[in-house]
Structure 1
């Protein structure tokens, strides 16, 4: 059996967007909608963790290169 190709961040985000569109159509049975909602939340949490890790990595790289680091407004509070 061939191993599944690991999806990129963008591909996984597209899957979540497609799931949202399908759920918003109202054509999904309730039980399936609940299962898909849970799967979507799990996927979004994983995507958020990946974004946070990328942001932290960029911060480290900028610090190592001596770049001035701009702090986003929401992080200044």
Structure 2
């Protein structure tokens, strides 16, 4: 059995890998077994990205004393 690829270190790397997987799968040239493996890897990348986003949101809440404030931008 093949080893699972190492999890990406950053959100951006995981997102890039996910985009590459999607493009490869959408090409329609991928054999069934490879497509299933890519799908499984994609699910893991999605979970990783969601976790990193949740962590970032939690950090923002802590920085803002659990009160996220709307961003006030000057009218341009």
TM, length-normalised to structure 2: 0.74
Q: Which structure dedicates a bigger proportion of its chain to helix?
A: 1
Moved runs in structure 1, 4+ residues, more than 4 A? none
Count matched residues: 64
Q: Unpaired segments of 5 or more residues in structure 2?
A: 1-5, 71-76
Question: Structure 2 residue aligned with 1:47, among 46, 49, 60?
Answer: 49
Tell me which residue corresponds to 2:65: 63
Cα drift, residue 7 of structure 1: 3.4
Tell me which residue corresponds to 1:74: none
Q: CA RMSD in A?
A: 2.1
TM, length-normalised to structure 1: 0.73
Q: Unpaired segments of 5 or more residues in structure 1?
A: 72-77
Tell me which residue corresponds to 2:37: 35
Cα drift, residue 9 of structure 1: 1.3
